Amino acid sequence: MTDSSISKFFEKSRKDRLDLVANFAKLSKEELDILQNDNGGISFDKADKMVENAIGTFSLPLGIATSFLINGKDYLVPMVIEEPSVIAAASKGAKIARVKGGFTVSADESYSIGQVQVLDVTDFSLAISQIKNSTNDILELANSQSNTLSKMGKGAKEIFCKELDTPSGKMLILELLIDVGDAMGANVTNTMCEAISPLIEKITGGRTLLRILSNYSTRRLVKATAVFDKEAVGGEKVVDNIVSAFEFADNDVYRAVTHNKGIMNGIIAAANAAGQDSRAIEAAANAYAAKSGKYRSLSKWSKDNDGNLVGTLEIPLSVGIVGGIANVHPVAKICMKILGIASAKELACVITATGLAQNYSAIRALSTDGIQKGHMRLHARNLAAAAGATTNQIDEIVQKMIEEKKISLDKAKELLDQI
């Protein structure tokens, strides 16, 4: 099976879902066993080696978003998230996008930015000039820290300098641009920054303090675009409403924060499943939303000449397929196999498309029936389970709560007592 558009995937049993995913990704029996293990794929011994003061493990639901067609290729997208309706929304968005050919996504090369803070500089113009004159020596020293990147023709490529005025005085910031290939690149960037610091001190006569990467990865931009057929969306009136809803988010910070949170529901869930640094991704995206000096919508929505809805999402996205948790956590490794990606750029494209799909479904729901109609049905299931309902009792309790328009834990307990 190579088609990710699976009819009524949500109605199938766990076994049937796993069989479909296994067939799509060619998972082994051992990999299926890991997915079916209720410890989340990680033992305490492994957890104890990953973090300090470990006392256990904490599992979150792992689901599959279906129907993704990205740059002409089908994907099943693993997503790790505790919030109801997110995976269903991403799947619905992907399904509607397929009508007009799916998502078109492009990604920059994997450039990481390292920063070296230089204090006590007496002559900034001279210091910057000397750094520029020593560019080759600095880059050579930086690249000596990674034989792997150097052999691949990657590594440190450029140097930039800027002056900052601060309350305690001026400081010089040297920025190192590094092609990190298929890695997220934090460790090699930090290593290079620390390695060149003594040379920077010698060149400038100043004192280096911080030597670390920037998670504001503006040289790793990813842009996803999709056309959503106006009839599949619900007609031109709905398209117009969605554009108006976007304009609200793009011009009001209170709406923009919630709007962008919805985008990040998709992005972070996919990033979590793939073992990526979700905190770095979130921080960079929010900084990018404020790049104009005002916090705005990360996505853009418009209507084309045929009345179809056009969505675009551009974000800085630093991800990797070598090193990090993606190569350590058993379930993350399986999720990467399900994705079937071959490069960090491809992973970035999939994650960004997931964010756009999620945003479409959220903004479409808000512009029509309201967000609660679908969300609260899923929330009601959680409440029924929290009340102690068995699998066979949950659907009956959910239906009664919806009919009575009373969705709460107390109501779920009351209905369970009646059953």
Q: How many Cβ atoms sit within 10 Å of the Cβ of residue 332?
A: 23
- The yes-or-no answer on residue 8 being catalytic is no
3-state secondary structure of 120: coil
DSSP state for residue 294 in the 8-state scheme: S
Neighbour-count burial of 382, counting CB atoms closer than 10 A to its CB (0-12 exposed, 13-18 middle, 19+ buried): middle
User: How many Å apart are CA 144 and CA 150, to the nearest integer?
Assistant: 8
List, in sequence order, every beta strand (DSSP E) within 188-282. 207-214, 221-228
Please report where in the chains the tokens 């309706």 appear, as a residue: 85
Residue tagged active-site, from 19, 83, 236, 252: 83
Cβ atoms of residues 159 and 180 within 8 Å: no
Rounded to 5 degrees, φ, ψ at 137 are -65, -40
Residue tagged active-site, from 49, 261, 294, 373: 261
Rounded to 5 degrees, φ, ψ at 407 are -110, 100
Cβ atoms of residues 171 and 119 within 8 Å: yes
Query: What Rg, from alpha-carbon coordinates, does the chain have?
Result: 24
Q: How many Cβ atoms sit within 10 Å of the Cβ of residue 115?
A: 18
User: How many Å apart are CA 234 and CA 366, to the nearest integer?
Assistant: 13
DSSP state for residue 237 in the 8-state scheme: H
| Strand partners for 314 | 223
Residue tagged active-site, from 95, 154, 230, 375: 375
- The yes-or-no answer on residue 261 being catalytic is yes
Tokens of 25: 């990704």
Residue tagged active-site, from 74, 277, 379, 400: 277
- The yes-or-no answer on residue 396 being catalytic is no
Residues in CB range of 403: below 8 A, 6 or more apart:
none
Q: Which residues participate in catalysis according to the annotation? A: 83, 261, 277, 375
